[in-house]
Structure formats: structure tokens, C-alpha cells
A and B are shown apart, each in its own frame.
Chain A
Amino acid sequence: MNVPSVLLWGFAATIVLSITMAGSQRLGYTRMSIPFLLGTMVTPNRDRAMLLGLLVHMMNGWLFALLYALAFESWHRATWWLGAGIGMVHGLFVLTVGMSIVPAMHPRMVSEYFGPTPNRQLQPPGFLALNYGSRTPIVTLVSHLVYGAILGAFYQLAGP
């Protein structure tokens, strides 16, 4: 495995993914912020949560880039469309499985079964994270697709 390439393009892909999602938030397409969700696992302070969450998010970006790189190495090829394909599966997994188990893992998030105790915590994402805006699935899929495409396009396979 070409570790420097993983680190470089994993970082770049994560940056682009973060920009895509944050831009979509600002445009009013979604309220989903992965750094915020990750950060609030650690602290209730919103400002600090964003910072910590972004750091964890970058680390996650590298870890997932390793998995992508493993896939490329096993196929002996890395192309943008292969990367995009893995990104699509990755995004679907996040939406269908990841989002459904987040309320169980997150110490500051309620589930949809919560109540009647009033909620001072994070809303649950719901199926396909639709509770964070009806265009959230599209934004999530597109950003992961771009993430995978960047890795696929620029990752240099390790030599034989």
C-alpha cells in the first residue's frame, strides 16, 4: 500500500467532502454536520464540538482512505469510477445503517422513541437522515461519491 498517497489524497478527499457538506448546509439543503455530530459525542459546547468533531472527522477520512486503498490494491487498479462506486456504497451504508445506530451510540442524541420527557439533546437523524432535511440523502451520497472519486483518481498504487 502506498501510505503517503493514502495520507495525501485521503486528506484532500476529506477536505472536499467536508466542503461539500458544509456548503450544502449553508445553501439550506441539509442540517447534517458530521463534525458536529462527532464533536457533540465528546462535549456539549457547540463551538468546541465543531472543532473537535472536525479533527475526528479528518482522522476518519484517513481511516476510510486506508480501506479504499486496500480495495484498490486488491483490484490492482484505481480509477475515479471505482472510487466513486465504493463511495456510493459507503454513503449508502452511512445513511441506512450508520444513521440508524447513531442514536444508540451518541450520548447526546435522543431516539425517535424518546418521550414524553422533554428533549434538550440532538434530534435523531431518522431513516436516511431525512430528519435533517429532505435533501440530506442526496447531499450525503454526492459528497461520498466525490470523496471516493478523488481517491480513485489520484491514489497511486504501490509498486509490485
Chain B
Amino acid sequence: MRLAVRRRNGYNIRVTSRIAVQLTRALSRDFLGSWLWYRRGNQRAGSPCRSTAAAFGGRDMSDSTEPAYRPIGDYALIGDCRSAALVSGAGSIDWLCWPRFDSPSIFGALLDRRLGGRFSIVPVEPFVTRRRYVGDTAVLETTFQTANGVVRLTDLMPVASEAEKARALWPDHELLRRIECLEGTVEVDVLFDPRPDYGRLAPRLIDRHAFGLVCEHRAQVIALRSEIPLEPGEGPGARGRARLRAGEARRLSVTYDRWLPVVLVPLGGAAEERIARSLAWWEAWTHGCRYDGPYAEMVRRSAIALKLMTYAPSGAVIAAPTASLPERIGGVRNWDYRYCWLRDASLTLRAFDDLGFTVEGEAFLSWVLHATRLTWPELQVLYDVYGEARIPESTLDHLEGYARSAPVRVGNAAIDQLQLDTYGEVIDAAWRYCERGGRLDRTTARTLIGLGDTVIRRWHEPDEGIWEPRGGRQHHTHSKAMCWVALDRLVRLCERRHVQAGSARFARARDTIREVVEARGYSARLGSYVSIFGRETLDASLLLLSLMGYADPQSPRMRGTLARVRERLGADALLYRYLDEDDGLPGSEGAFGICGFWGVEARALQGEVAAARGDFERLLSFANDVGLFAEEIDPGSGAAIGNFPQAFTHVGLINAAVTLARLQGEGPAHTPVAAVDRRGHA
């Protein structure tokens, strides 16, 4: 018997029947548990036959010289709450941007396997893998089983408390990897190939011997210290091999500094201490989670994913740590999500608060109110982690894009759009903060009044809407309803004296908006609210009308809306965000992750808790092997598509779980916005 195996470097090789039998045994025995995670077979890591063809609809994207693109769902996330890296199921770091989430990439093989650069540690022999995060932490373990042994790769960005960091010199950033042999003897291959500035540079590495391999780019220094000797080659990058026996371990540390001398971090026992300290920090942080309802493990994993996408120095939460992962393989719907969207504000704050991470929630709200000062009293769709309002979009034409999905975009042109719903999100977030006992200072109160006046002035204008289509402005029902939410919350803030202002003009405008929405945003023929005034198209944001407190979830109008949305946009438990609207872009996309969770919440609030729970469990099955969700899911294959992992999807998961727990009497926490009458009063 002979078995064709695709190795990590793309060559098809032959292995003997003996190895094939051992691999088969390994799969069926030790890895059965993890293999069950790989319910969707060909989109997961772990297969000894690593063809990516199936994941790309039958097209083999590999060639004979470069590793193929791995499925998006094959990646796991590590980070230090200032930057993040994606680690593939084959032990390769294919995406890393330093010093910030939105900085140019240093490893970018995710977007160009030839030019992007990577840092891989992988057995030379064929292998199968199993992955997990260690406990409730962001420390990743990838275990490789080969015919001759087992090695475990640990990946992390070391973290510690500020007090601990004050006691020792820390680099600006560090990526720490440890490879240890658990059984037998395994030879591992290491490739360190940084390509700064989105792969525009292919620097020669300088071997400083005891001080490591160094790559300098302008004022930035990337240094690798390794317990496995690496040799810089003729071209860019350095390579090395080591044969590890059971009980042996090797550590490799990449550090980054700018403007200052590089900080050389010790390896050996000191590196072990950094791993232990990081594990302890994450465990302690997760211990602050007060949620212990159903699906607690997935909720905690989502909280950690959300935390990893938080920029600690400012409190901002980015939408995703990646750029231009396609919404359709080979398509053009490729966007940069390494920024912060205001539309996420209220729901994100709710997720943090309900889990007990109030400090993160307050920091995020503080960022929202601080960031928007540059554009006040108008709001932009998105800002960078420090609130910079100008984020021009451009394409990186030298990169071929993930699985040849071009163009690769960085920056985001949605910044020029008008999305009236953001006013509702921001003011609702402030109101939630006050509801939990927070107090607003006069500057913040004035900020909110200014936003309310902008809503009064602009609510009747058409806008691009929550989904940011590039086909022009329309009168979106969801946007108008969120204008209602903005003014409703402002009225409440005024009435409870959190904001010192008269509420009459806000109340008048609020009531007018409701009348208009009820008259023009609802179709009696469909028995449903509609996406755009006067049309009969639907989109999933209509479900937010009840989740945000505009409409009673059990009202006939919302019941009809949920039924029509599920009927038209549903696929399994998933929901497309829209299907029958022209968004001004060619091609199509998958089901939108968070919309499915909105469907769960809306269904549960309508009283169908058991059915909602079934939908929720079905949605959980679309997570990858380490519990992460992308922006979208292909309903046909179940594959993750779009930027990965997506904070908004994990926010949806948390909020849906909390709602289910509350309705089942098992949960904390979240008090929904009071149901409203037709005049908008609680």
C-alpha cells in the first residue's frame, strides 16, 4: 500500500505503507478527539493529505515550489492586546503586524505565499496535528504526530501585569515559540523569513551570533534569538533543522523594537518563566468572567478572542486582525478590518459588561467618546485605534491576495460613508454605561447632546446603512430606527439628569421618526419591516429593531419580520445579511456570522427558546477547531470566509448565549432595553 501525501512545502511525496498504517492508527486513536473537532473534514487542519483543492471548490491553488494557501478556518490567533498573529494548523505564522494591528505586515504569507513572509516550525516528516488553547488562555499548543514521534509547539506573545513589567526590561513586542518533543525522535525544520512592509522588503538577515539574527528596516529592528541554529541563505530568510528526542525542548523568540536599541530577551529558563507568567495572566483575566451559564467554554473563548482584538493602550476594539481575507475565494470583496467600527459599540459594550469585564467595557466607551472628538458632532463609520479619522484606502498590487483573491486592500473607503445607525450605537452605549452606575462628565454630556442635534438635523437623509454597500445612499429602515434609539436614549439620559439639557426637542424628533418608520419601513403585504423605505427587500439588520429596543420582540410586526427574514435569508441556522439588494459589487458572499446569532436572540426573545437553543448549537458547530469564527461562513461547505477571527461574530455569540441563559433562568446579567409602546416610551 502506498499513500500520496502533500507535505508542508507542497511537494507530493510517497511514503511507505508502514507510515501510512501508523498515521491511520494515530488518527483513529490519539487524535480521534481532535478529529471530531474537524467535522467539516477538508477545511480543517489535521489531515495527512493536505490538499487544499477541496477547500477551494476543486481548484488546487498550490504549485510545486510554495506551500498552498491554507483554509481561513485553519488559523488560530495569538496576541498581546496591541498586536496579533495568525498561526496555521501546520505551525506557520503567516500573519503578523507590528507594532499595531493596522501596521504593515512583517509576516504576510496569508496574502501572498511567495512574497509575504512567514515563520514556520514544522516536522520534516509527514504529520497530523491537533491544536488547543491551554485552558482559558491565549497560549496556543499545536501537537504534531509523525511516524517516529510527537512534538508540541507552543505559541504566544508574552504578557504580564504592569507591575511585573516594571520589574524587568521588556521589548516593545515579543513572539515566543517553544518546540518540545513528547515521544520518540522528531526532526523539525525552521524557516524564519520576515518581509516587512507588506512584503515589499526582502531583507538579508544579519547574523549577530549570540545576539541572534537581526533584520533592520528604517528605525525598526526585528531580532530572532533561537536555540535551533539558523543559517541565513543566499536570499531572504534563514533556515535550520534540529532533531529532538523525547524530553528535549527548544525555544525561539522574535522581538521588535523601534527607535531604540533592541531588547535581547533571554531564552532557556527565562523563556519558560515568561510562558508561565503569560498563562497565569490569562487565567487570572478569564477568572474575572462571571458568566457560568450554558456554553460557558465557548463564551469564555469568545471573550478571550475579543480581548485579543482590544488595543490596550486606548481601549479600542478592532473588527478583525486581518486585511483582505476574501468573502468569496477568488473574489473582489476583500476589505481591511483592522480598525474600529462604531456600529459595534453598543453590542460590544453589552458583551463585556454582561461577562463582568466592566473595565474593558468602560475603556471601550471611553475610546468611543474620545475618538469621535475629531469629527464631532458628526460621526464617521470607523476610526483607527487612536481615533484617527482619516484612513485612506489603497490596494497592494504587488500581493496576489489570499488564494489569488485580488485586490488586496488596506485602509477602508467606508470611512467616507454616512451611516446614521452609528449615532444610535454610541448614545445607547453611553446610556448602558449610566444604567450600570456610570457618570458622565460635562464634556461627555455636551458631546452626546451634539450627537443628538446631528440626528435631529440629518435623520431624514438617505445613508449607506450598516452593511456599507457601495451602490449609493438609500433610506434604510434600520438606520432610521437607530436614529430613534439615539434620541430615545438621550431623552432617558436627560430625564435621569445624566445629561443636563431639555429633552423636549429630542422626544419630538424621536416620535416623528417612529411615525415615519412605521409608515414607510413596514410592508403590510409582506407582514414585515423592510430594508429600504417603500421597497420589499429584507436584510438581517431588521432583527436589531427588537434587540435594540425599538420594537417589542413579541409584537406582530417583529414576529412577521423574523419569519420573513428567516425565510428569505436563512440557510441552516445561518443568515445572509442580504440577498436581493444590489450592493454595487460583483460576486456574492457567504452567510454573515453575527446575523445568525441575532436570529437566535430574536427567536429566543419571541418565546421560542428551545428552537433558538438548537440554532445556537448549530451555529457553534461552524467554529474552527479552537473555537474561532470568521466574518462569514459558506453555507455550502461550512468554511470560514472573510476576515478572521471577527470580533463582531464573537460579540454576537456572547450576547446570544447570555440572552438564552437569562431566558432559561441560568444567566446573569443583561437587562434588555425595556419594551416600548408606539410612542417610544418605556
Q: Which residues of A contact B (CB under 8 A)?
A: 25, 28-31, 45-47, 50, 110-120, 123-124, 126-127, 130-134
Contact between B307 and A116 (Cβ–Cβ < 8 Å)?
Answer: yes
Q: Enumerate the 4 nearest inter-chain pairs by beta-carbon distance, A residue then B residue, closest first.
A: A115-B312, A116-B81, A131-B386, A46-B441
* Contact status of A28 and B313, CB under 8 A, knowing A46-B441, A115-B82, A117-B162: no
Contact between A120 and B387 (Cβ–Cβ < 8 Å)?
Answer: no
- Which residues of B are found within 8 Å of A127, using beta-carbon distances? 259
User: Which single residue of chain B is at the shortest CB-CB distance from A124?
Assistant: B313
Contact between A114 and B312 (Cβ–Cβ < 8 Å)?
Answer: yes
Q: List 26 A-B contacts (CB under 8 A).
A: A29-B374, A31-B374, A50-B443, A110-B312, A112-B82, A112-B313, A113-B165, A113-B170, A113-B172, A115-B80, A115-B159, A116-B82, A116-B307, A117-B312, A118-B312, A118-B315, A119-B363, A120-B366, A123-B370, A123-B386, A127-B259, A130-B386, A131-B386, A132-B386, A133-B389, A134-B388
CA separation between A149 and B310, bound complex, in Å? 44
Nearest CB on A from B311, distance (A): 8
- Check if B99 is an interface residue, CB within 8 A of chain A: yes
User: Which single residue of chain B is at the shortest CB-CB distance from A133?
Assistant: B374
User: Which single residue of chain B is at the shortest CB-CB distance from A127?
Assistant: B259
Name B135-174 residues within 8 Å CB distance of A: 159, 161-162, 165, 170, 172
- Which residues of A are found within 8 Å of B678, using beta-carbon distances? none
- Check if B360 is an interface residue, CB within 8 A of chain A: yes
Contact between B161 and A111 (Cβ–Cβ < 8 Å)?
Answer: no
- Which residues of B are found within 8 Å of A118, using beta-carbon distances? 310, 312, 315, 357, 359-360, 363
Contact between A28 and B376 (Cβ–Cβ < 8 Å)?
Answer: yes
CA separation between A114 and B82, bound complex, in Å? 8
Nearest CB on B from A4, distance (A): 36
User: Which single residue of chain B is at the shortest CB-CB distance from A44?
Assistant: B441
- Which residues of B are found within 8 Å of A115, using beta-carbon distances? 80-82, 159, 311-313
- Check if B662 is an interface residue, CB within 8 A of chain A: no
CA separation between A132 and B441, bound complex, in Å? 20
* Contact status of A119 and B315, CB under 8 A, knowing A113-B172, A114-B162: yes
Mark B422-454 against chain A: 1 for CB-CB distance below 8 A, else 0.
000000000000000000011110000000000
CA separation between A143 and B259, bound complex, in Å? 27
Contact between B442 and A47 (Cβ–Cβ < 8 Å)?
Answer: yes
Name B376-435 residues within 8 Å CB distance of A: 376, 386-390
User: Which single residue of chain A is at the shortest CB-CB distance from B308?
Assistant: A116
User: Which single residue of chain B is at the shortest CB-CB distance from A109?
Assistant: B313
- Which residues of B are found within 8 Å of A46, using beta-carbon distances? 441-444
CA separation between A117 and B390, bound complex, in Å? 28
Contact between A119 and B312 (Cβ–Cβ < 8 Å)?
Answer: yes
CA separation between A33 and B84, bound complex, in Å? 31
Contact between B443 and A110 (Cβ–Cβ < 8 Å)?
Answer: no
B interface, how many residues as a size bin?
A: 35 or more
Q: Which residues of B contact A (CB under 8 A)?
A: 80-82, 99, 159, 161-162, 165, 170, 172, 259, 281, 285, 307, 310-315, 357, 359-360, 362-363, 366, 370, 373-376, 386-390, 441-444
Contact between B387 and A31 (Cβ–Cβ < 8 Å)?
Answer: yes
- Which residues of B are found within 8 Å of A132, using beta-carbon distances? 386
From B82, B259, B373, A25 is in contact (CB under 8 Å) with: B373
User: Which single residue of chain A is at the shortest CB-CB distance from B384?
Assistant: A131
User: Which single residue of chain A is at the shortest CB-CB distance from B378?
Assistant: A28
CA separation between A127 and B219, bound complex, in Å? 13
Contact between A116 and B390 (Cβ–Cβ < 8 Å)?
Answer: no
CA separation between A111 and B444, bound complex, in Å? 24
A-B CB contacts (within 8 Å), total count: 90
Contact between A123 and B313 (Cβ–Cβ < 8 Å)?
Answer: yes
- Which residues of B are found within 8 Å of A130, using beta-carbon distances? 386, 388
Contact between B161 and A117 (Cβ–Cβ < 8 Å)?
Answer: yes
CA separation between A3 and B375, bound complex, in Å? 42
User: Which single residue of chain A is at the shortest CB-CB distance from B358?
Assistant: A118
Contact between A133 and B388 (Cβ–Cβ < 8 Å)?
Answer: yes
User: Which single residue of chain B is at the shortest CB-CB distance from A113?
Assistant: B172
* Contact status of A116 and B370, CB under 8 A, knowing A28-B376, A131-B386, A134-B390: no
CA separation between A116 and B387, bound complex, in Å? 19
From B159, B375, B443, A47 is in contact (CB under 8 Å) with: B443
CA separation between A13 and B159, bound complex, in Å? 46
Nearest CB on A from B527, distance (A): 45
Nearest CB on A from B216, distance (A): 18
* Contact status of A31 and B312, CB under 8 A, knowing A112-B99, A114-B162, A118-B363: no
- Which residues of A are found within 8 Å of B81, using beta-carbon distances? 115-116
* Contact status of A28 and B82, CB under 8 A, knowing A115-B313, A118-B359: no
Nearest CB on A from B246, distance (A): 34
- Which residues of B are found within 8 Å of A117, using beta-carbon distances? 161-162, 312
- Which residues of B are found within 8 Å of A110, using beta-carbon distances? 312-313
User: Which single residue of chain A is at the shortest CB-CB distance from B314?
Assistant: A123
User: Which single residue of chain A is at the shortest CB-CB distance from B444?
Assistant: A46
Contact between A116 and B281 (Cβ–Cβ < 8 Å)?
Answer: yes
- Which residues of B are found within 8 Å of A126, using beta-carbon distances? 386
User: Which single residue of chain A is at the shortest CB-CB distance from B375?
Assistant: A28
User: Which single residue of chain A is at the shortest CB-CB distance from B443?
Assistant: A46
- Which residues of B are found within 8 Å of A31, using beta-carbon distances? 370, 373-374, 387
CA separation between A54 and B359, bound complex, in Å? 29
CA separation between A112 and B172, bound complex, in Å? 9
Nearest CB on B from A137, distance (A): 13
